[in-house]
Chain A
């Protein structure tokens, strides 16, 4: 048993076990517990490696390490899990699907409501804005994942929680196999290199007093250059001025702001909205991150240049094999660029599937309503569709049962009392609706 030294203050943390998850060849995931002392290879210094393959001797199966996390023995959820004793590191097996870059489980973000003194004293109930309320998904390498929904559905909050820009109220976030839900800011900093964001409004997300070169160089100055040192370990190094300028120029030409020399010393106000958004994209990609959240990156831009920025981002994602969460209320756009789409409503995931499945054959009544509300650029198809009435209810007191039942044309008794779970109706197409269960 290892007892960690107490950190600054507070109780010492007892680590009895490690919780591991492996992905198998057939796509299933097995979870279990191991003792912290188990060695996985002859080299004693080597610890578990994310995304590597291990032979689990106890089951005689090869699995890819998806995540590992320290748990305490007294945890009630550890009681039911199997324990593994013997492992061996094996060569990478390409047949086993890659580990998810990001995965979240039952993630929640509740914002407590401010209340007056009287209410605080006399009311037992706590009021919360349930912005994100139990969402799970995982993101594989190089995937473009769209989050869609009305305003107030929690998509932006979810994006921020994923990056730990706001803390979560429950659930867990795994990033590259590591549980980052409760890491301190100091522990997060090296990981920030791998996770970046592109904001909605390029007029507000760029510092008006910085020149373009400094805006793009800032992440490089903060994080330094990632490289491998003589001992074969990853390390960071401060970059020299010339090196930084070289890198910034390269990035500017990658986002098609050419010639780069012309843009290096400009201020944001000397550029158009589209050019500014290109700078924001360059800043996000300059550290070669493996995960990016793009929060409505084109909704503030003019129609004729939206496609350029979207195509640019798709190309950069394909080239760098980064995974991207693309937050958008525009389902037509999401369909054309995303691999998978998740539909959110009042902080819950209503439907999840490939972009073709979700848009062309939507299952959930809410998705159907959203899609039929999207205007179609064809004057002959007008005036035929039904529009659902009403607006999104308050997330403070969401409807009981299925959250959509107040607006759903197919609502029946069960919907008002029992909350539907997200179930797989057809392969890789999940829906949370009583019509399908």
Chain B
């Protein structure tokens, strides 16, 4: 791995391979994925649905659904490998070390508990010996951090608007002072204005609290607005990885190029939209060698025989493609 990747890494993922066991075999959701996140850095993971982005998030916290297994690889967080860790020790990492803002602000909260109590619960579970007065005070402070009136802690989730629920979820994720925050599609299902407010809040928090972040999204524009580094995933593999500016300015992998073109920019001339023809592959039997070869416009013979490895093309920009 190139030296720039490992510098000051808070989280280092090496060859992570997560599969789901189903009756017909193993679904190869994530294969041989490596990346790192430094202190105070934001990494964006982009790709279509089914590319394995959410599985990575669940693997990092070891909260995979039934049937999901980490079959290989290391997740080194703050010096310890999380993969072989006992469940009891893992619980100490969750929320205090790594926490997550789940997708779907509308449904991620329990409708029969007050918002303040739900945030307080996260503190109570993850910290020993806190008094209820302490919790109350900290919940008020958390709500203030995300821009919600602290008196609203006594409201139920249905009394909150969509944007406020999203903010409350962020407050909940911050409850135990984590060092790494994962956002799983934090902007989708929100209106543009509320989405922009949420993204701005996340950026502010990152700068103010020195948080590291992993943003998972299918929307490249959201990643462009919030992240320093980008990993593009296709069918369970990272196909391109590097700093945001060089990936957006100079996308190398044909899949990245297609994905960027598929997003109409609000700036610039009116154009006919372009798309990536074909469908994402079946992960039970992924195509051999390069998994993108059936949809690739530049496909060559070698793409069907040999798997391309991630190679550094220029400083801080790696790509897995035989074209380079």
Given contacts A304-B262, A307-B274, A332-B265, contact A374 B192 (CB under 8 A): yes
Q: Report whether A333 and B264 are in contact in the complex, using a CB–CB cutoff of 8 Å.
A: yes
Task: Give the nearest-CB partner of A360 in chain B.
Answer: B267
Q: Report whether B48 and A302 are in contact in the complex, using a CB–CB cutoff of 8 Å.
A: yes
Q: Report whether B196 and A373 are in contact in the complex, using a CB–CB cutoff of 8 Å.
A: yes
Q: What bracket does the count of chain A residues touching chain B fall in?
A: 35 or more
Task: Indicate whether B200 reaches chain A with its CB closer than 8 angstroms.
Answer: yes
A contact face: mostly helix, strand, loop, or mixed:
helix
Which residues of B26-66 have CB atoms within 8 Å of chain A's CB atoms? 48-49
Task: Report the minimum CB–CB distance from A382 to chain B (whole Å).
Answer: 5
Task: Indicate whether A428 reaches chain B with its CB closer than 8 angstroms.
Answer: no
List of B residues within 8 angstroms of A373 by Cβ:
192-193, 195-196
Q: Report whether A310 and B224 are in contact in the complex, using a CB–CB cutoff of 8 Å.
A: no
Q: Report whether A308 and B279 are in contact in the complex, using a CB–CB cutoff of 8 Å.
A: no
Set A274, A376, A387: member contacting B266, Cβ < 8 A: A376
**Bound: A331/B266 CA distance, A:** 7
The total of Cβ contacts below 8 Å across the A-B interface reads 127
Task: Indicate whether A151 reaches chain B with its CB closer than 8 angstroms.
Answer: yes
Task: Indicate whether B69 reaches chain A with its CB closer than 8 angstroms.
Answer: no
List of A residues within 8 angstroms of B266 by Cβ:
331-332, 335, 359, 371, 374, 376
Q: Report whether B192 and A307 are in contact in the complex, using a CB–CB cutoff of 8 Å.
A: no
List of A residues within 8 angstroms of B225 by Cβ:
375-376, 379, 382-383
Set A337, A355, A374, A380: member contacting B245, Cβ < 8 A: A380
**Bound: A372/B263 CA distance, A:** 17
**Bound: A333/B195 CA distance, A:** 17
Task: Indicate whether A225 reaches chain B with its CB closer than 8 angstroms.
Answer: no
List of B residues within 8 angstroms of A389 by Cβ:
197
**Bound: A302/B161 CA distance, A:** 26
The residues of A with any CB-CB pair to B shorter than 8 Å are 150-151, 272, 274, 302-308, 310-311, 329, 331-333, 335-337, 355-356, 359, 369-380, 382-383, 385, 387-389, 391-392
A-B pairs, 5 with minimum CB distance:
A375-B221, A307-B275, A307-B273, A373-B196, A379-B244
The residues of B with any CB-CB pair to A shorter than 8 Å are 48-49, 161-163, 187, 191-197, 199-200, 203, 218-222, 224-227, 244-245, 248, 258-260, 262-267, 270-277, 279-280
Q: Identify 6 new A-B residue pairs, CB closer than 8 A, beyond the known A335-B266, A374-B221, A383-B225.
A: A304-B259, A306-B273, A307-B275, A377-B224, A379-B224, A387-B193
12 contacts between A and B (CB under 8 A): A303-B262, A307-B275, A331-B192, A332-B263, A332-B264, A333-B273, A336-B272, A375-B187, A377-B263, A378-B265, A382-B224, A387-B197
